[in-house]
Amino acid sequence: MRSGKLHMCGRYSLIGTDDLGARFRITDPSIGFRSRFNIAPGRMVPVIIRRERTEAVMMAWGLVPRWTKDRDGAHPIINARAETISQRPSFRHLLKSNRCLVPATGFFEWKKDQKRKTPFYIRMQDRGLFAFAGLYDIWHDPAGNNGATCTIITTGPNELVAPIHNRMPVILDRNDETRWLSDESLTPADLAQFLVPFPAAVMEAYPVLPMVNNQKIDDERLIRPLAGL
């Protein structure tokens, strides 16, 4: 899935960034990221990785594989399909050592009804932080410059999302986050356990104003329930 298109997952929010350190057990969470209500592809976002320790690193949303020769002409990959992730060359090697968590507090999906698309905001009922399963890579150019980029893994929808869209991001169970971040090799059975729809019973979804389509608008109006619905 390419950046710039309102496909799944094409927008998400991250509110309450002061809580990142405690929620994800980060030693130094001071990465200067404010709350964002309308994160679009191409933006720099905080991503949780595990090297010598668990840390938050700013990355561009939209994976650019390390072998890309010209980043300016690249087509960043914002989503990776769970069903084919172990076969795609862009992702296969990343599954071994470049797994990451992408913190979020909600995401947007567009429900197509005849000729109209209505945006919906989807979040946890407790409105808390959660983590998308992601992959990242480091791109290097001949001049020695480099850049970290990431992609969000998607799967089929749960019962809440299904009436809205046929895909949703993989949201990891909190108990699985540490293992996803580890350098442990994951078998096909492990991936089948991780990369599944999150339980609908603890989530909620409601229509919101179409102004979310405008990447320049980024405030709390975007996540308010649409009046009269």
Task: Answer whether residue 6 is part of any domain.
Answer: no
What is the reported pLDDT for 71? 67
Task: Answer whether residue 222 is part of any domain.
Answer: no
What is the reported pLDDT for 29? 59
For residue range 41-100, what is the model confidence (pLDDT) as tens digits? Answer: 999 999 999 988 889 999 999 998 887 776 666 788 999 999 999 888 889 889 998 999
Residue 205 φ/ψ, nearest 5 degrees: -145, 145
Task: Answer whether residue 74 is part of any domain.
Answer: yes
Task: Answer whether residue 41 is part of any domain.
Answer: yes
Give the range of the structural domain holding residue 178, as residue numbers without chain letter.
Answer: 12-212
What is the reported pLDDT for 2? 37
Task: Answer whether residue 227 is part of any domain.
Answer: no
What is the reported pLDDT for 5? 40
**Helix or strand (DSSP H, E) at 194:** helix 188-194
Average pLDDT over residues 109-135: 94
Asked whether the bond before 9 is cis by omega within 30 degrees of 0, the reply is: yes
Catalytic residue (choose from 9, 100, 150, 177): 9
- Distance (Å, rounded) from C-alpha 113 to C-alpha 53? 47
Stated pTM of the model = 0.92
For residue range 125-184, what is the model confidence (pLDDT) as tens digits? Answer: 999 999 999 999 998 777 777 789 999 999 999 999 999 999 999 999 999 999 999 989
Catalytic residue (choose from 52, 55, 83, 109): 109
Residues in the chain: 229
CA distances from 96 to 81, 92, 124, 221 (A): 16, 8, 29, 40
CB distance 40 to 222 below 8 Å: no
For residue range 2-54, what is the model confidence (pLDDT) as tens digits? Answer: 333 444 678 999 998 778 888 898 876 556 678 999 999 999 999 999 988 88
CATH number of the domain enclosing 184: 3.90.1680.10
Task: Answer whether residue 219 is part of any domain.
Answer: no
What is the reported pLDDT for 1? 37
Domains in the chain, number: 1
Task: Answer whether residue 73 is part of any domain.
Answer: yes
Task: Answer whether residue 169 is part of any domain.
Answer: yes
Provide the pLDDT confidence category of residue 228 given band limits of 50, 70 and 90.
low
What is the reported pLDDT for 3? 37
- Does 9 qualify as catalytic in the annotation? yes
